Chain A
C-alpha cells in the first residue's frame, strides 16, 4: 500500500510522492522513526509554538493515523509531575 507522510504544524511539508509499505504496522514504525529524525535534525521545532504533526494518509488522502509531538513548558502548579511516582519500579528491575 502507498502511504503519504505529510508534515504539518511547525514544519509544513506535504509528501507528494508517497512510499510503498507492506503493512499498516510498517507505516506506523516508519512514521515514528521519521518524526524522530525530523526532531533530531531540528530540535527547536517543538518549541516553535506549534506542534509537529505527521499525518499519514493513503492514496485517497484519507488520514490513517497522526503522530503529534509537542513541547510543553512547565505548568505553574504546585504538584509533583506525572513522571514522579515514589513507589515506581525502575525499568531496569523489570
Chain B
C-alpha cells in the first residue's frame, strides 16, 4: 500500500481546497492518506450495487459512472465521476455502495481505506467539514440530475449535462469550452433517460443550432450563454460554495 504524500491525493486535495480552507498540516494529512492504485477496464463494474465496501475510490484517470439497474436490465447513469472526484466518499460513513460504480472508460482509481479516512476526520475536524461539503456537492449534482430527467425536454437535458461537465472539467473559473468526454450516445441516453435514437436526433439539433457538438469523445461548446439558456443551467449548485465567505470554517476546534 502506498502512503506518504501520494501524488494522486493531490487531485483530491485540490478539489477540497476549492470549497474549504485548510492549514498546511491539514493539507499534508490529506496528502498522506494511504491507498492503492487500481486500473479498471472500460465497461466493467468497479463496485456492485449494495456491495459492502471498506475503501473509498478517488478517480485519478478516466471516467466512471454511478449506475442503478432495474429488473429488466435497463440502466440509469446517475452521476459521472472525473479525475479528482472521490466517487464514493459517502461510503466512509455508510459502507454500502449506493448504486454501483461502473468504469465507462479504462480508469485509474486510488482506493483509500475508510479507516484512514475516519481517523483523518477525527484528528482534523476542518478536514471532516471539507469532506462533508464534498458529499453535499454530490447531493447537489444528483438533485439537478433528478430535475433534468424529470422535467426537461431532451435538448435541455443534454445541454444541461454538457454545461455541468464544462464547469466540472474547468481548470480555472471559466467553463471548459472544449473537453474530453468519452461517452457514447447510448451512455448519454442512460444519463438523460433517453433512447439512443433520441440522443442522436437531439445532438444533431444542438449541433445545427451551433450550440455544442460531441465528436469522437470531445465536446466543443460554440455558444456558452445560449447553451446555458437552452439547458436551464445555472452553475450556482456547482460553484455557490467556492467564494471566500462560503469556504470559511464553520467548525471551531
Contact = CB atoms under 8 A, between A and B. Distances in A.
Nearest to B198: A37
Interface in A28-42: 30, 33-34, 37-38, 40-42
Contacts of B198: 34, 37-38
Nearest to A42: B153
Interface string A26-70: 000010011001101110000000000000000000000000000
Interface in B148-174: 153-155
Contacts of A19: 196-197, 200
Chain A interface bracket (under 10, 10 to 19, 20 to 34, 35 or more): 10 to 19
B246 interface: no
Interface residues of B, number: 10
Contacts of B153: 40-42
A9 to B, nearest CB: 15
Contacts, number: 25
A55 to B, nearest CB: 13
Interface string B195-213: 1111011000000000000
A36 B198 CA distance: 10
B194 interface: yes
Nearest to A16: B204
B161 to A, nearest CB: 16
A15 B197 contact: yes
B167 to A, nearest CB: 25
A22 B245 CA distance: 55
A30 to B, nearest CB: 6
B195 to A, nearest CB: 5
Given A13-B201, A17-B200, A37 B195 contact: yes
B195 A33 contact: yes
A37 B200 contact: no
Contacts of B194: 37
Contacts of B196: 19
Given A15-B201, A19-B196, 12 more contacts: A5-B197, A13-B201, A15-B200, A19-B197, A19-B200, A30-B195, A34-B198, A37-B195, A40-B153, A41-B153, A41-B155, A42-B153
